[in-house]
Amino acid sequence: MDDRKMQDKSLLQNKDMLVYKTHSMKGKDISQGLGFMLLVLCTGTALVFLGSIIYFITIRGIRVISWEFITDVPRMAMMKGGVAPAIIGTFYLTLVSISFAFPLGLACAIYLTEYSPKGTIINIIRLSINNLAGVPSIVFGLFGFAVFVNAFGFGVSILSGGLTLGIMALPGIIATSQDAILAVPQSYREASLALGATHWDTIKKVVLPAALPGILTGVILNVGRVAGETAPILFTAATFYTRGFPHSIFSEVMALPYHIYALMTEGTHPEVQTQIAYGCALILLCLVLSVSAIAIILRQRQRKMYGQ
């Protein structure tokens, strides 16, 4: 503030300039105050909105959840029992999708970072990754339905749904793996090459082990995203009701996100079903948010480790 006073004093010599200065000082301070208030308001509104979603689902869902709800199969047309098959189904779908997308995504990330192709090739690959990431989830569902369910004859099954989800998770896995590999200091590679190791040996024995924690964190982050997806499994994997748990990779499954949708739109006891849907929504929210929270916290620690 003292600096500013001195500045003003020096400006006294020029009267016009002083008038201009004091006048605009007021105006700009007011606009600054109003502007900052607006920003606080925006952030507050966003947080209140998002917070209230979590709040409502938590307090209404917690009443429904019991040990039986989590571990039992549905009984008496959903009126009794639990949603265990849906939880297990979501687990299987996520497992299939990640085991499909992880090797592919990692290979792609290794190619992009370690073999660093030039010009057109890298542009084409980047462009297709970005565009694949932007394809609407329902379009993945259509693709999975036409290709995996019908053309390949897998039927409505864990396999079809898992592969569909896997393709959808691919861009995310590539991006996170790429970040992890790029975070490995260049000096590691140089040291290895200087010791006479080949390019592939360097990747396998130096770069990948160093990047592994970051890569796994990225996978966890994507698990959270995949587990909550509904649209891609609508026609490829999910069903409202199964008698017990899925037997094979070719059976249709119940899945938590789809179950919420089905409870709200099908069936004959809307009130009871809404309560069950609250329970499912809370379980899904807990699963997805805790998985992504773990991933994000792990990632922050790793970033600190590399001093970024």
Locate 228 and state its tokens.
């909550």
Applying CB under 8 A, among 18, 65, 95, 132 the residue interacting with other proteins is 132
Contact string 45-84 vs other proteins (x = CB under 8 A)? xxx-xx--xx-xx---------------------------
CB 174 within 8 A of CB 108: yes
Residue with tokens 């994507």: 222
Stretch that binds other proteins, among 34-42, 68-76, 181-189, 209-217 (CB under 8 A): 34-42
Smallest distance from the beta carbon of 187 to other proteins, in angstroms? 22
Q: Is 270 in the site for other proteins (CB under 8 A)?
A: no
Residue with tokens 């500045």: 7
Locate 91 and state its tokens.
């687990």
Locate 179 and state its tokens.
């970040």
Estimate the share of the chain in helix, then strand, then coil, as percent rounded to the nearest 5: 75, 0, 20
Q: Is 220 in the site for other proteins (CB under 8 A)?
A: no
CB 126 within 8 A of CB 178: no
Applying CB under 8 A, among 6, 19, 40, 212 the residue interacting with other proteins is 40
Smallest distance from the beta carbon of 113 to other proteins, in angstroms? 10
Measure the CA–CA gap between 303 and 180, rounded to whole angstroms: 9
Contact string 153-192 vs other proteins (x = CB under 8 A)? --------------x--xx--x------------------
Smallest distance from the beta carbon of 249 to other proteins, in angstroms? 21
Applying CB under 8 A, among 58, 65, 72, 111 the residue interacting with other proteins is 111
Q: How far is CA 274 from CA 64, 141, 250, 261, in A?
A: 10, 26, 30, 10
- Contacting other proteins within 250-269 (CB under 8 A): 257-258, 260-261, 264-265
